[in-house]
Structure 1
Amino acid sequence: MRCNVIGVSAVAAKKKKSILPGFGIGMGFTLFYLGLIVLIPLASLFLKTATLSWSEIWGIFTDQRVIASYQLSFTTAFFAALVNAIFGFLVAWVLIRYNFPGKKLIDGIVDLPFALPTAVAGIALTAIYAPNGWMGSILTNFGIQVAFTPIGISIALIFIGLPFVVRTVQPVLQELEKEVEEASVMLGANRWRTFRSVILPEVFPAVLTGFALAFARGIGEYGSVVFISGNMPMKTEIAPLLIMTKLEQYDYAGATTIAVGMLIISFVLLLFINYLQWRSSRRMISV
């Protein structure tokens, strides 16, 4: 009898700990959706690449033109994401902490890169920063060329990546209680210490998430970069453009091989960023 009571209690406890109803259907739909939209297309890349021999795959990866395109894509995406992490936080801080005329207008402008077609953004940036453009002509007088250089590519990636950081950090800043900052000041901490010890630990995971999103978007960006880059092999040719070039040459296996290389490198880098975010979150919880 006692064993039955214990068994019933265990079943009841298990039911109490069970998750919300509909988990089976929801999980099944999630796996089906991810498999159909994400995993199957990615698997086709690996299957197409597998038609090549290991020596052919290694030859593509070690080609100087491919290596140069990888270096350019990842370095400019990283630099642009880093700039967006800093200035995106500042923009989010201003929009949350201050009230001023035109605040809603500026808040709406932040989302323009989401709504604007990337090709239009690329044409606009090229027209502005070209040697005969408005900004380009001014910078040329100082010996600075933006269009058709890695600098121009970075500017295009900063343009399209800023909203990712702003919209990720904004909710965290909005939920951050000002009373905690006021208590820190009352305890004798200066503004820098309050920011470093109170505010930064709270928003750093969100900033890191925004950085990861902007970085991931920048790696695969094509439309806004293809115009301002100039597309010079070994100099300003990004990896997505090289993939398009391979496709136009009907070299599908070569294009998928370059894409698989980008996918693997991106996955490793994003996994490392997520690990840093997990560590920062655990450190914040432990404190």
Structure 2
Amino acid sequence: MTTPGTPSPPASPALWLVATPIGNLGDIAPRAVEVLSDVSFVACEDTRRTGLLLQRLGIGPRPLVAVHEHNEAEACSRIVGRLLAGESVAYVTDAGMPAISDPGQRLVEAAAAAGVVVSVVPGPTAPVAALAVSGLPTDRWVMEGFLPRKGEARDQRLGEIASERRTVVLLESPRRVGATLSDLAGACGDDRAAAVARELTKLHEEVSRGTLGELATRFADQPKGEIVIVVGPASAAAVSDSAIVDEVRIELANGASARDAAAAVARKLGVGRNRVYPLAVKMSRARA
């Protein structure tokens, strides 16, 4: 049994998910350095970037295997085979926590299904860091990742965010952040509270807080650096009838009665059941 603060040696076989800095090298955990030094090999999103990171951490040359979004499915079987043969592996992405808006989920799923031990060395992750400094509610929140770039899929996601009663965290590229903020303002209203976190943990870290309308104007010109957008929750009054109708339609299609559909949608959207129930009854009768 290890004492608090004492790094535990990697078990073998084991898959270790190791968080890496999102900008400031000083954020690397001491246990991460130990695990990266001791495992049989390191799987990573980009071998060149990971090789440079290991060099900067003072870790000698390590066997590196590329596992990224384009080859993850194929690479999983090979890595699981090596794990079952008794090797241990650490998986890192370019920055942050593997499997959180980064590759890694398939590898975790495959390893767990094969009975391999999966452990984690937690650390920096941009979505959580941005949420923490946003000044927006943190008791209930949802990670949306990157929005679809265009079309009906984008419009649908924007509509869902407009009625979301939890704080929403999104990722966006500097090239598209202005357009996305403008679209969010159009869907949620100019006055919805929001924050934009840029270059977190880096020299030019910046957190801009305000309304979606204000931020859309502020970031109309393309900024530099990594971007996270945090959108405050909708108020009950901000949930439109159309959003309620969409959710009721889904519940009824899944076989719920008007009463049960109204209860489920009221809980999900945080609106009064007495507002939802008449719509549910009307829609249920129309279906009949």
Q: Same fold (TM over 0.5)?
A: no
Per the shorter chain, which TM-score range?
under 0.3
Point out which structure has higher relative CO (alpha carbons under 8 A, 6+ apart): 1
Q: Which has the higher strand share?
A: 2
TM-score (normalised: structure 1): 0.21
Give TM-score scaled by structure 2 length: 0.21
The structure number with the bigger radius of gyration is: 1
